[in-house]
């Protein structure tokens, strides 16, 4: 996949991959998830909640945050897509977790609306008219794009990967939304998200039922700073990772561990084919079973990479 096309798919700006040179390794990803269990929620005593209640609330939020980090990496979706996940999207099998019908955002339909006709040749002031031989006139159109409600194709997550037990334990305890908000928040979302809210989910009064991407960003950046997964650019002080970082990391990990090429990555993430794709690539589609077979065939390779990652992470932590 071309660099520019990959950047567009991962988040729309070159900053997404500026600091992504390679997969940071399973040691770093697992540490990032586990450090969420140390976040000091409700740490100060108060007159509203007794100590036992505060401990229960603290534990609930910690478990949620750890599952959020796990899902952001394992799903490899845009943060808004992952936050909109529901229990019904998760299918558990012996060797794989199957994720089905997650939202796919940033898909649009081009709309062309006629605004005027001319039955004589346009003057220099008549800008934007096109000749229509069937209607025998010049027509001016207004072009726009509208977000589409599309779903991500079924994709597998190997149960032998780290973080899967964390995700499954968490999913078993939720009723519907994986990362629900405690508040009915009425706010205008980005156009793609809002279309799902209004048309697909039919939520009461158009409210968002899940925590915001801003809150997710706060969670992951705090956790990243604790474990030292930070980046700096142009001599700016080190900052925590950002939400699309997980998407880029999953992409590189799938290529490294399972030798996914562009065709497999396109299928896994439901990326659309570039406009300059060859005819062969358009018709030679990868299916869900091929993804599983590729992962199974490279399971030993993944195990070697996993052991190496944890050894290197342990050594790095010892030297810091």
pLDDT digits (tens, 9 = 90+) for 48-60: 888 889 999 999 9
- Per-residue pLDDT for 233 more than 80? no
Mean pLDDT of 125-142: 93
3-class state of residue 155 by DSSP: strand
Mean pLDDT of the chain: 84
The number of beta carbons lying within 10 Å of the beta carbon of residue 134 is 5
Mean pLDDT of 154-158: 97
Handedness of CA 214, 172, 224, 105 (dihedral sign): negative
Question: Rounded distance, CA 169 to CA 163, Å?
Answer: 10
At 63-116, the pLDDT tens digits run 999 999 999 999 999 998 999 999 999 999 999 999 999 988 876 678 888 999
Tokens of 123: 């003057």
At 172-202, the pLDDT tens digits run 999 999 999 877 666 666 667 877 877 788 7
Distances (CA, A) of 119 to 130, 133, 135, 137, 306: 11, 12, 10, 5, 70
**Could you tell me where in the chain the CATH 1.10.443 domains are found?**
21-104+157-319
Residues in the chain: 320
Handedness of CA 66, 71, 76, 81 (dihedral sign): negative
- Per-residue pLDDT for 13 more than 50? no
Tokens of 158: 């190997």
Q: What pLDDT score does 109 carry?
A: 72
- Per-residue pLDDT for 155 more than 90? yes
Tokens of 69: 């980090």
Q: Give percent of the chain with pLDDT exceeding 70.
A: 82
Q: What is the CATH number of domain 21-104+157-319?
A: 1.10.443
At 238-290, the pLDDT tens digits run 577 776 789 999 999 999 999 999 999 999 999 876 544 544 454 457 899 99
Tokens of 99: 């994720």
- Per-residue pLDDT for 228 more than 60? yes
- Per-residue pLDDT for 17 more than 60? no
- Per-residue pLDDT for 4 more than 80? no
Q: Give percent of the chain with pLDDT exceeding 90.
A: 57
Query: pTM of the full predicted structure?
Result: 0.80
Question: Rounded distance, CA 308 to CA 31, Å?
Answer: 15
């Amino acid at each position: 996949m071309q660099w520019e096309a990959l950047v567009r798919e991962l988040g729309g700006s070159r900053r997404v991959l500026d600091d992504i040179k390679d997969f940071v390794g399973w040691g770093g990803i697992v540490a990032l998830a586990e450090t969420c269990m140390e976040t000091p929620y409700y740490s100060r005593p108060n007159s509203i909640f007794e100590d036992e209640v505060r401990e229960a609330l603290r534990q609930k939020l910690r478990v949620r945050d750890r599952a959020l980090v796990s899902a952001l990496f394992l799903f490899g979706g845009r943060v808004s897509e992952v936050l909109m996940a529901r229990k019904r999207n998760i299918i558990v099998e012996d060797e794989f977790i199957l994720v089905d019908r997650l939202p796919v955002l940033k898909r649009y339909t081009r709309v062309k609306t006629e605004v005027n006709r001319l039955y004589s040749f346009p003057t220099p002031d008549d800008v934007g008219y096109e000749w229509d031989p069937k209607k025998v006139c010049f027509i001016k159109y207004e072009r726009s794009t509208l977000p589409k409600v599309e779903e991500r194709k079924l994709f597998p997550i190997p149960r032998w990967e780290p973080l899967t037990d964390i995700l499954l334990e968490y999913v078993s305890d939720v009723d519907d939304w994986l990362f629900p908000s405690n508040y009915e928040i009425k706010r205008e979302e980005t156009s793609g998200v809002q279309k799902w809210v209004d048309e697909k989910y039919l939520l009461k009064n158009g409210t968002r039922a899940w925590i915001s991407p801003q809150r997710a960003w706060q969670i992951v950046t705090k956790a990243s700073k604790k474990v030292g997964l930070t980046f700096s650019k142009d001599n700016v002080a080190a900052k925590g990772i950002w939400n699309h970082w997980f998407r880029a990391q999953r992409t590189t990990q799938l290529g490294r561990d399972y030798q996914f090429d562009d065709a497999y990555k396109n299928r896994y993430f439901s990326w659309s084919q570039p406009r300059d794709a060859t005819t062969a690539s358009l018709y030679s589609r990868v299916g869900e079973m091929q993804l599983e077979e590729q992962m199974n065939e490279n399971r030993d390779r993944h195990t070697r990479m996993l052991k190496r990652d944890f050894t290197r992470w342990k050594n790095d932590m010892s030297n810091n």
